[in-house]
Amino acid sequence: MLVWPVVRHPVSEVDFTFNCGMKRFSIIDHFILPKCVFDASVEVVSAVHEVDNLSDHDPLILQIGVCHSVCHPFVTRTASSRLAWYKASRDDIVKYTQCLQSNLDSIVVPKDALVCHNVHCCNTMHGLPVKSYSRDIMAAYMNAAQGSIPQTSTKDRTCSNNRVPGWNEYVAPQGMNLFSGVISR
């Protein structure tokens, strides 16, 4: 997904968000949005410069008008099993360690790309192998874990039955105060 800094939006009125002793000014505070929201929903982007602000950072204000179909329709949550490290036995951890080591040993290291020390390197023959290498490492960890670590059960876990921590204590009592509709779980 492409993301865009809102200070580059045509409606942006941001001149600076940071000052160093009122001598040097720059924009170092940002909102980053998906391109579809950037294009369709940004209404106001501004910085608030007030004399009583004791910080060297000025608040960045973003106002968006979002219709729920701007990017993607909402997807209903589905229950899925997850790794349950707390259920793992010593044997599970040993199996995980062995599997992980085997997975990592099978990954080809892109030596040419990793020895490049040019911080401004634009060689795609360096960037693509490094991205692939990092994906391979993540896959090695996930595959080792999924093959050896117990998982949570999806039994009796439907979306209507999911527990949301803090819901009953903090959200439900607010009822109509939070939204202009009825809140239900």
129 and 100 within one domain: yes
Cα gap 161→79, rounded to integer Å: 10
Residue of higher predicted confidence among 139 and 30: 139
Kindly state whether residues 59 and 89 are assigned to the same domain. no
- Residue 72: predicted pLDDT: 56
Residue 65 has pLDDT above 50, yes or no: yes
Nearest CA-CA partner of 17 in 43, 25, 32: 25
Residue 174 within a domain:
no
- Confidence category of residue 171, pLDDT binned at 50, 70, 90: confident
pLDDT surpasses 70 at 13: yes
* Residue 182 banded pLDDT, cuts 50, 70, 90: very low
Q: What is the pTM of this model?
A: 0.44
pLDDT at 96 over 90: yes
* Residue (of 76, 74, 70, 79) closest to 35 by Cα position: 70
What pLDDT sits at residue 149? 93
7 CB neighbour count, 10 Å cutoff = 20
User: What distances in angstroms separate CA 89 from CA 92, 94, 103, 145, one per listed residue?
Assistant: 5, 9, 21, 13
Query: Do 10 and 57 sit in the same domain of this protein?
Result: yes
Q: Are residues 89 and 143 in the same domain?
A: yes
Examine the domain organization and report whether 95 and 57 are in the same domain: no
pLDDT above 80 (res 111): yes
Write out the two tokens for 29. Answer: 């505070």
Under 8 Å between Cβ of 70 and 36: yes
* Residue 172 domain flag: no
Single out the residue of 75, 72, 15 nearest to residue 47, CA to CA: 15
What confidence score (pLDDT) does residue 154 get?
Answer: 66
- Report the range of poorest mean pLDDT among 52-56, 85-89, 105-109, 118-122: 118-122
Q: With respect to residue 164, please indicate whether it lies within any of the assigned structural domains.
A: no
Give the C-alpha separation, 87 to 103, whole Å: 23
Looking at the structure, tell me whether residues 55 and 102 fall in a common domain: no
Does one domain contain both 144 and 93? yes
Q: Based on the fold, state whether residues 9 and 48 are members of the same structural domain.
A: yes
Q: What residue type is 170 in one-letter code?
A: Y
**Which residues span the domain enclosing 100?**
85-148
Q: Does 90 lie in the same domain as 54?
A: no
**Does residue 99 share a domain with residue 52?**
no
Residue 177 belongs to some domain of the structure = no
Q: How confident is the model at residue 109 (pLDDT cuts 50, 70, 90)?
A: confident
Residue 173 maps to a domain: no
In a domain, residue 178? The reply is no
Residue 53 sits in the same domain as residue 89: no
CA neighbours within 13 Å on the CB side: how many for 77?
A: 13
CB 141 within 8 A of CB 152: no
- CA-based angle 101:103:109, to the nearest 5? 100
For residue 179, is it within any domain?
no
pLDDT above 70: residue 123: yes
Q: Which residue has the higher pLDDT, 114 or 101?
A: 101
Domain count, the chain: 2
Residue 21 included in any domain: yes
